[in-house]
Structure 1
Amino acid sequence: MTSSPVERPPAFAFVESPLDRAEHLRDDADLLARRWPQARVVVVDAEGRAAADAAGAPLVLHGMDLAPAGAAAAGPAAAALFLGLRGTQAWFAVRADAVAIDASGWIDLRSAAAAWPAFEATAFAQARALLHWQARHRHCGACGTALEYRRAGWLGWCPRCRLEHYPRTDPAMIVAVTDGARLLLGRNPGWPPHRYSTLAGFVEPGESLEQTVAREVFEESGVRVRRCRYLASQPWPFPSSLMLGFLAEAEPDEPQVGDELEDARWFSFEEIDAALRGVSPEGGLLLSPSISISRWLVEHWHATMAAAR
């Protein structure tokens, strides 16, 4: 490892060109209603897919183009969630079952991240995460009463016990582990053949991020982490994670997997280099797609090692 690692700006999905969330507007229902007709709207179905055109590109929809579905009387604006502003234009998200829409196609978030412009993919990710939270949190966890959604969809309020419920985000660490010369990667059962990725795991209550890195790496591979440092983060709404990216230095222990991973092993710089350049031999290493922070962490390690050489 070099003491002056190469700084590589994040180059993965869901972080570029975010909306101005304009939190101060969430309580101004009248203003948001006036902006609705010309607003851009991300329509998401029950499976978490966004409305798209026949070619899979983002479907351009404005509030005034949308009519309520079925017998809904309040109109789609009442069911819309305010995402934020792009310049002066408001952006909303709405469930597909709340509007009458004739979409040529529907696209999942992973596919959109690879094919759509960064801004639209980032807005889709925000919309999907927020709508998923609402769909899975319809009742108060304390008394079971149906929640009322306020603040333009960002607050679930219980009319009985008056508890407030906020969108859930689950922090998880993801880490590039090195022994100074090699990179530790693991694979889950069910992945495509030869696909390996950086190790990851959720933060437990009462645990620091650094403790999570050491615990998860040891639990999954038996490798002991000496130290780690934070690099970058990525929203990962599958369904509600925030991936916190680390680089860790570890002992050169022989990996030993348990129940979580199918395999874990050390890869040389040459193997990683070939995989990143797409020249691995048949049956060689496959890495995570470029939309993920996992791929970026591997690239960061590779760039640091190449500079040190």
Structure 2
Amino acid sequence: MPRSLTQHLPLSRYRIDRDHAARDRPQLFDELAADPDARIVALWRGEVLLTTARDAATAPALALLPWASAPAEALRIYLGRTLEAEGGVPAGAAITAVVLDDESGPALEADVTRWASPRTLGHRLGDRDAGLAIEALGLANWHDTHRFSPRTGNPTVAAKAGWVRVDVETGAELFPRTDAAVIVGITDADDRLVLGSNALWESNRFSLLAGFVEPGESLEAAVVREVFEESGLRVIDAEYVGSQPWPFPASLMLGFRARLDPAHANDLRPDGAEILDLRWFSRDELAASLGEILLPGRTSIARAIIEDWFGGSLDAP
């Protein structure tokens, strides 16, 4: 069985007790408003507030602010309690995400260099802060896309500490959802890795092939289908290697390795819609190409799978 990469993935780290039972307490937010140890994580436009301005030389940290720092009417989502003391926040402190609008965000902090996206900065955050940022962003994105019930079209309101939305007319409860997506490191008989360039990226950015799992489909079947659709390659022996949340906006990335099926011709055939270019790389070829091509960012599971195949860290941003 292949070793799991999950524990090494930047956005899979977590050092918080989600304290799920507290979500059912109707007066939870009133209790936290009176708790001097309670803290908030501020979100604005998909970014989190840091303690200081972004600095390439200094490890970033979330600004965990007093409860009253944000407007009372802002959407609040209970994230859980800290497991140990860190950065001036005691163990057991309750942490709540607060989603700010275009008026309250700049009012809280006008310095845009203190707001940052976990997508690009997540690998530099500590274990506690990485987990808090990803939990907060995933739930905030879900709230933003479920202001109306998909069943009735009626408005919905947040309930149960931000973990449920309720249809205001029918009372039906809606719960957070995550979209499953597979991402695959494909190798051939010579142990070369195939990388593709997506139509939405810069022309010289290359990554692994990936796609969403369809209804009624196993993860392994999704690997085979997505790879063939995007590249014309037939693969076998799909093996799970780890998972990472990717709330940009609402995915769970399920990492796999797979081998080229020797029973097929397997000519590279980019689909022309999502994938515009495909290339095979040996380890030496990939290392020699780093000045020419861009790799996925260090926060992504794609980068982890590529470097695991490569056998070490690649000298690229």
- Bin for the TM-score computed over the shorter chain: 0.7 to 0.9
Contact 2:184/2:257 (8 A) holds in 1? yes
Is the alpha carbon distance of 1:121 and 1:224 closer, same or farther for their aligned partners in structure 2, counting shifts above 3 Å?
same
What TM-score results when the alignment is normalised by the length of structure 1?
Answer: 0.84
Match in the other structure for 2:108: 101
* 1:12 CA displacement: 2.6
| Contact map agreement 1:182 1:268 (CA 8 A) in 2 | yes
Judged with a 3 Å threshold, the aligned counterparts in structure 2 of structure 1 residues 132 and 5 are, in CA distance, closer, same or farther, namely closer
CA deviation after TM superposition for structure 1 residue 294, in Å: 0.3
TM-score, structure 2 length as denominator?
A: 0.82
State whether structure 2 residue 213 is matched by structure 1 residue 174.
Answer: no
> Could you give the per-residue CA deviations for residues 233-275 of structure 1, whole angstroms, max 9, x where no partner exists?
0100110000000011113622101122011121113223x2x
Q: How does 1:73-222 map to 2 (within 5 A)?
A: 75-76=72-73, 79-87=75-83, 88-97=92-101, 101-105=108-112, 106-180=115-189, 181-222=191-232
Higher mean alpha-carbon deviation, 36-45 vs 214-223, is at 36-45
3-state SS in 2 of match to 1:62: strand
Distance 1:130 1:58, change over 3 A: same
Shift of 1:124: 1.2
For the 8 Å contact 1:129–1:240, the answer to whether it is kept is yes
Kindly report the root-mean-square deviation, in angstroms, between the aligned alpha carbons of the 2 structures: 2.4
5+ residue gaps, structure 2: 55-59, 84-91, 313-317
Task: State the secondary structure of the residue aligned to 1:29.
Answer: coil
Partner of 2:65: 62
Alignment partner, residue 242 of structure 1? 252
Question: For the residues of structure 2 that align with 1:42 and 1:7, how far apart are their CA atoms?
Answer: 30
Residue aligning to 1:229: 239
CA distance in 1, matches of 2:151, 2:203: 45
d(CA) in 2 for partners of 1:115 and 1:17?
14
For 1:269, give the aligned amino acid. Answer: R
Equivalent position of 1:269 in the other structure: 283
* In structure 2, distance between residues paired with 1:5 and 1:136: 37
Deviations 1:280-301 (A, max 9, x none): 4642x43212211001111222
Seq. identity, %: 38
Q: 1:281 to 1:149 in 2, by over 3 A?
A: closer
TM-superposed deviation, 1:5: 5.2
For the 8 Å contact 1:53–1:103, the answer to whether it is kept is no
What is the match of residue 21 of structure 1?
Answer: 18
Return the offset for 1:104.
2.9
Range that drifts further, 91-100 or 141-150: 91-100
Distance 1:39 1:119, change over 3 A: same
Tell me, yes or no, if the aligned pair for 1:6 and 1:300 is still in contact at 8 Å. no
Aligned residues: 287
**2:252 maps to 1:256:** no
Cα distance change of structure 1 residues 211 and 5 upon mapping to structure 2, 3 Å threshold: closer
- Cα deviation for residue 92 of structure 1 reads 0.6
Q: Secondary structure at the match of 2:170?
A: coil
The answer to whether the 8 A contact 2:197-2:203 is kept is no
Contact 2:80 2:96 in 1 (8 A): yes
d(CA) in 1 for partners of 2:3, 2:12: 20
Structure 1 portions without partners, runs of 5+: 69-74, 305-309
Q: CA deviation at 1:58?
A: 3.9
